[in-house]
Structure 1
Amino acid sequence: MFKILYKVLLLTVSVALVALLVGYTDTQKRSYDFINESDLVVENTSETRAEVETETTTETTTETTTETTTETTEETTESITDNETDLYDYSQPVPQSLAVEDSYFDDAIFVGNSRTEGFMMYAGLKKAQALTHIGLKVDTIRTSQIAKIDGKKMTIMDALKVKKFGKIYIMLGMNELGWAFPELFKEQYASVIDEIKLNHPESIIYMQSILPVSKAKANYDPIYNNDNIERFNQLVKEIALEKEVFYVNVTEGIADSEGSLPEGASFDGVHLKPDFCLEWLSYLKEHTVEVIHE
């Protein structure tokens, strides 16, 4: 009887030891799994922190860059308030300033004849817009339906009313050089500027000088020569003064020492090659104003 009780007791103790050992092992396994999960959370937290720090740094850098860019842009243009425009000397061309970025022209539109058409083709201004036509003149800009907006034909002046622009660059006069009465050119051009100012009172309006032709063309052409162009440019200056818009003497940035297009600058003595369209753009970028509306 004693032996039976002893065996039962021994079996009970053995079972208890086995159960204890199994329980310890399972507890140890679960603790190990938790430690691994904890490490994983810490690693993810570290990655998240690093991402947050990176984003914060990026945002800070972006803000700093934006502020710096804004400050730089403000320094590169000649700032003029509405009150100061009354004192601005419109008889003088826009003076040289620090060059602006291409983004300055994002809200600009260029209006002109085939020369402006070539400029827009080669200058690389991706966001600037244009209303151009071969042979465009100060009269046909309002009478010929040569623009198309949403499939509808209209004049360039009507097309210009469809949208507002921060800057309007206009160059006309080359195709009017043969007019018998230059004063008619001035009258028509001045009327165009009046209409633009009426429809775009907040826009900065730049009247560009008529670019010269090559010396070879000027020497044999009785109409399209640089003496005639200079006479018409004097009329453009007078309009800029009378209408109080900004005159940009792009001729200064393109012409050679004799006032002609440099040799090799043009395909035909009139229209600029790509490299000289970029010279044209460089001049515009270095001759800007900023009107602050109060």
Structure 2
Amino acid sequence: MSNRLNDKITERRNARTAEIDRLSTGDMLAVIHQEDMQIASAIAPCLPDIARLVDSAAAAVSRGGRLVLVGAGASGRQGMLAAAEYAPGAGGPVVALLAGGPEAMLNTSMEAAMDYERGARDLEAIGFNPHDMLVGLTVSGRTPWVWGALRHAWAMSAPAAVISATHQSEAAQLADIVVVPEAGPEVVAGFGNPKALIAQKLVLNMVTTGLAVRSGRVYGNLRVDLEPAGDRCSERQIAIVMEAADCSRAAAKTALAACNNHCKTAILMVLTGLDAWRAHDLLNRNHGYLRLAAGDVPLAG
């Protein structure tokens, strides 16, 4: 096997930055910025595959499953952050596993990343099942821990996707959906994979945002699944109800207090004039989709 840098697209020398060490700081940063501008464009051809991923994830969540993100090193850390941002706390529909566990957030565990069998064991430990969907995060597509997790999902016919920088990898062969933003070689070969990781992060943002929309967590462009702060409504909940229902602060607080600080129910109460019990029932009959529930009755006023 060749050891030349150009064996991997992310480690090939970038002809556009070959003289970067000769540039002034300002010119150097301009070159880096120009390279970064290519990342979003690289994602555009992947949109059909990302759409399939979002729809598959939404289907998994609708049948009671989870979207499980797995990765090692920087990729795994991005997965952990994406899951935390989607629904803080345990028990949410988006779960992330990092090779080596939470302690690897600070120090990458190469031993864990290279352990094929451990990838499967870590999935087993969270009760991964065919109702769930797995997304492997691996720039190289060659991380054994991620392969092991993907093989475990494949063996039980669970849907699986990979977000990577290469189509030609072991990980890609185990996935139903392969998302490969071709951002090109890095600014500095061998200095990590910043462009590939930014592309991966942008795709993850699309996936989690798209899943939130498709799962009824969004009304208009407002996140309406906010949890209360302890036993009281939060300021963010009040602001969201005011914005979504176009009501006063007092009306928002009154509605939230009447429905045990359930944000979507409070919005529906203000929009429709229903009491808390009827609004909650209407929301349940529409599977938690506020847009559908609000369309079931004439708007108040």
TM-score by length of 2: 0.33
If asked which structure has higher relative contact order (CA below 8 Å, sep 6+), I would say: 1
Larger Rg: 1
